[in-house]
């Protein structure tokens, strides 16, 4: 690795000596404010997810169905593929920060919010999300998928950094768990005749929890180039650009396509004639076969990321904008050709020590 030989990169302080005396006080105040914000965010997330009933943007897979006689139903794999592709686009691990670390003793604690554009007017979003209690479709689909997370990253020797996160998707019952490992191969060099930017590679994984009917995991590998600029000996700004490859894994369990009916009660199985696959019904057995496992989604999503980090003392602010480099069907021919590219805006603030 090549390291930038400037001590000011790891500890930026105002040039005014009087300001140095006030720095610890301001740092403690910033820490207190930040932890209050963390408590507020986590409290709001818990309140939002407190009711036992499904939230408005939680997935309702039982509605993704089709029928020819109103009695026998089959799962709509195309609608599921469209819904899962857009939904998992919001779960791609965000890249929040430049390529370089701040030394093996540094760490970062922050709150980050991700906002993703979706095709909210599409029928699969209306049919495939819960909406208001008692409704058969969601008449008020959110135009954006929003989730927030608490993120912790710890630098290690030799340019490595280990991170973890826990988040909550707004207006759903879902939570996310994330893990990432980054390696800063080049931590920059600026000389009289040469300039080498910071360069890092990262592997990340994020999984969704909170729904027994389906599970989703996204694995990401990305490469980042960045550079840092000091302004007024007090403020540091680090723009960065990255390329990202994401692999999406989405699967469902056995989904009951007619949850409004009770197949076993209607069937009233004959205990004297048990069968291993389909019970012998003494009543109405028409609902026995109304269940399905949707087609597994295995797709790759290449993305480009443009971002910047600003830092003053221990306070750090991150902003990143990412978008699909290819349409989903260009990266995976099994997906419908009219699925649009997605974009996402990530904003974060935290403390970097």
Residue 338 has what DSSP assignment? T
Residue 171 scores a pLDDT above 90: yes
> pLDDT at residue 50 above 50?
no
Residue 30: per-residue pLDDT: 46
The separation between CA 72 and the C-alpha centre of its own chain, rounded to angstroms, equals 36
Question: By mean pLDDT, which of 62-66, 120-124, 265-269, 296-300 is the weakest?
Answer: 265-269
Enclosing H/E stretch for 164: strand 160-169
Q: Between these two residues, 11 and 292, which has the higher pLDDT value?
A: 292
User: Position of tokens 């000011």?
Assistant: 8
What was the pLDDT predicted at 287?
84
Q: Which comes out higher in pLDDT, residue 270 or 260?
A: 260
Distance CA 349, CA 108 (A): 10
pLDDT-derived band at 193 (thresholds 50, 70, 90) equals low
Query: What residue ranges define each of the domains in the chain, with the CATH number in brackets?
Result: 2-253+293-352 (2.40.128)
Q: What is the mean pLDDT of residues 47-68?
A: 78
Q: Is the pLDDT of residue 16 over 60?
A: no
Residue 56 tokens read as 């408005």
pTM (two decimals): 0.81
Length of the chain counted residue by residue: 353
Beta-bridge partners for 292: 255
Of 247, 242, 243, 251, residue with least CA distance to 219: 247
């Amino acid at each position: 690795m090549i390291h930038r030989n400037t001590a000011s990169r790891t500890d930026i302080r105002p040039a005014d000596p009087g300001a140095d005396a006030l720095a610890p006080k301001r740092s403690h105040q910033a820490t207190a404010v930040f932890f209050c914000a963390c408590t507020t965010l986590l409290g709001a997330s818990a309140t939002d997810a407190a009711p036992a009933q499904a939230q408005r943007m939680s997935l309702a897979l039982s509605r993704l169905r089709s029928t020819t006689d109103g009695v026998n139903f089959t799962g709509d794999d195309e609608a599921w593929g469209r819904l899962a592709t857009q939904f998992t686009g919001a779960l791609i691990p965000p890249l929040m920060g430049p390529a370089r670390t701040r030394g093996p003793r540094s760490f970062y604690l922050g709150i980050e919010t991700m906002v993703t554009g979706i095709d909210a007017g599409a029928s699969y979003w209306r049919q495939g999300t819960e909406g208001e209690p008692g409704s058969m479709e969601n008449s008020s689909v959110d135009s954006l998928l929003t989730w927030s997370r608490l993120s912790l990253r710890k630098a290690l020797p030799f340019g490595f950094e280990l991170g973890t996160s826990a988040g909550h998707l707004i207006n759903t019952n879902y939570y996310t768990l994330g893990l990432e490992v980054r390696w800063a191969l080049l931590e920059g060099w600026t000389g009289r005749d040469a300039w080498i930017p910071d360069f890092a590679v990262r592997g990340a994984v994020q999984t969704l929890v909170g729904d027994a009917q389906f599970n989703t995991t996204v694995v990401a590998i990305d490469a980042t180039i960045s550079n840092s600029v000091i302004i007024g000996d007090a403020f540091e700004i680090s723009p960065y650009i990255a390329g990202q490859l994401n692999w999406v894994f989405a699967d469902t369990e056995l989904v009951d396509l007619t949850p409004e009916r009770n197949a076993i009660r209607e069937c009233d199985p004959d205990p004297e004639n048990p069968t291993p696959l389909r019970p012998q019904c003494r009543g109405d057995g028409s609902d026995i076969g109304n269940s399905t496992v949707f087609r597994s989604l295995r797709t790759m999503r290449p993305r480009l990321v443009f971002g910047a980090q600003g830092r003053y003392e221990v306070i750090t602010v991150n902003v990143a904008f990412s978008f699909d480099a290819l349409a989903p069907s260009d990266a995976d021919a099994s997906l419908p050709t009219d699925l649009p590219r997605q974009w996402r805006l990530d904003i974060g603030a935290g403390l970097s020590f």
